[in-house]
Amino acid sequence: MPAGPDSPLADAARLLAGARRGVAFTGAGVSAESGITTFRGEGGLWTKYDPVQTASLAGFLADPAVYWRVSRDRWQTYRRAEPNPAHLALAALEASGHLTAIVTQNTDGLHRRAGSRHIVELHGEGGRVRCLSCGSEEPRAEVQARLSSELPPLCRRCGGRHLKPTVVFFGEGLPAAALSAAIELAGTCDLLLIVGSSLTVNPAAMLPDLALRRGVPVLIVNPEPTPLDSRADAVLSGPAGLILPELMRLVTASGDSSPVL
Ligand code: OAD
């Protein structure tokens, strides 16, 4: 993407350089360049699988094996994935004081591994698995290890067949603490940087509206159009792994408007 003085990239860098309480809001697209397939958009997971069967509470209760068949392979991909330059740039923008937090819809843990510190995980984190019958929990890695011979996996304590990872499915509420932290951040930030989200899944997708209604700058990084493009202050069209490092470089180069830590 060209970075002339009047380009969207230059505009975005100026706005970000002036932010004191910037917040990033990320979706699956930020991890696309780590090899993790997005849900929507070109080649997305939901073009191959039905989200109601594979990621809703109702579908899971009806037949947990359908979920586990898809999740078994996706978990392997998560385990192999490394943070990409987009995750690293977001962590660096937090370290340099331009961002104060990341609100993410992702459950892959890559923001943490990239070094981001203040992370709000709206859709949970997939490291543990809970039995919906007796409530006992075990690490996902242990359940994963028996998936080749046991599908769906069974609870080691009660034999129940509804072992569910601690991620949010369609039809479930978001973790209350994470949702209220995200609302607080979107309602008080002085800039919102949206990266790699189709902005179609509520309630997460309603958060940007809290920033837009207060008139704070909203920046969007995505190779495909989003429903908020017409209301954003800058739309940076392209892969986050290319755009965010360049944005960070321009913000850093802008020097004297950087926040004092
Ligand atoms: P989506 O899969 O809906 O959207 C991903 C977005 O990332 C799309 O708009 C793509 O165009 C964009 N994208 C693709 N490659 C990119 C790249 N290299 N850089 C930047 N953007 C890129 O993901 P989310 O908006 O996160 O929930 O989806 C929200 C929720 O829907 C997920 O958390 C998940 C899903 O179903 C549940 O499973 C409950």
pTM strictly above 0.75 = yes
Is residue 216 very low, low, confident or very high in pLDDT (cuts 50, 70, 90)? very high
- For the chain, the average pLDDT equals 94
User: What's the pLDDT tens digit per position in 42-94?
Assistant: 889 999 999 988 999 999 999 999 999 999 999 999 999 999 999 999 999 99
Residue 259 has pLDDT above 60, yes or no: no
For 236, phi then psi, to 5°, come to -105, 105
Residue 8 makes CB contacts below 8 A (sequence gap 6+) with 1, 234, 235, 236, 237
State if residue 201 touches ligand 1 by the CB under 6 angstroms criterion.
Answer: yes
Residue 153 makes CB contacts below 8 A (sequence gap 6+) with 68, 129, 143, 146, 147, 163
Find the range with the poorest average confidence among 11-25, 109-123, 191-205, 244-258: 244-258
In this prediction, residue 254 carries a pLDDT of: 83
Ligand 1 atom with least separation from CA of 27: 26
Indicate the SS3 state at residue 105: coil
State if residue 25 touches ligand 1 by the CB under 6 angstroms criterion.
Answer: no
Ligand 1 atom with least separation from CA of 198: 9
State if residue 38 touches ligand 1 by the CB under 6 angstroms criterion.
Answer: yes
Which architecture characterizes domain 1-36+83-123+174-261 according to CATH?
A: 3-Layer(aba) Sandwich (3.40)
Indicate the SS3 state at residue 188: helix
User: What's the pLDDT tens digit per position in 149-184?
Assistant: 999 999 999 999 999 999 999 999 999 999 999 999
State if residue 123 touches ligand 1 by the CB under 6 angstroms criterion.
Answer: yes
For residues 92-107, average pLDDT:
97
User: How does DSSP assign 118-168, residue by residue?
Assistant: SEEETTEEEEEEEETTT--EEEHHHHHHTTTT-SS---TTT--S-EEEEEP
Residue labelled with tokens 């970000």: 16
Q: What residues are labeled active site?
A: 123
Domain boundaries, the chain: 1-36+83-123+174-261, 38-80+125-167
For residues 180-191, average pLDDT:
98
Q: Which CATH topology does 38-80+125-167 take?
A: SIR2/SIRT2 'Small Domain' (3.30.1600)
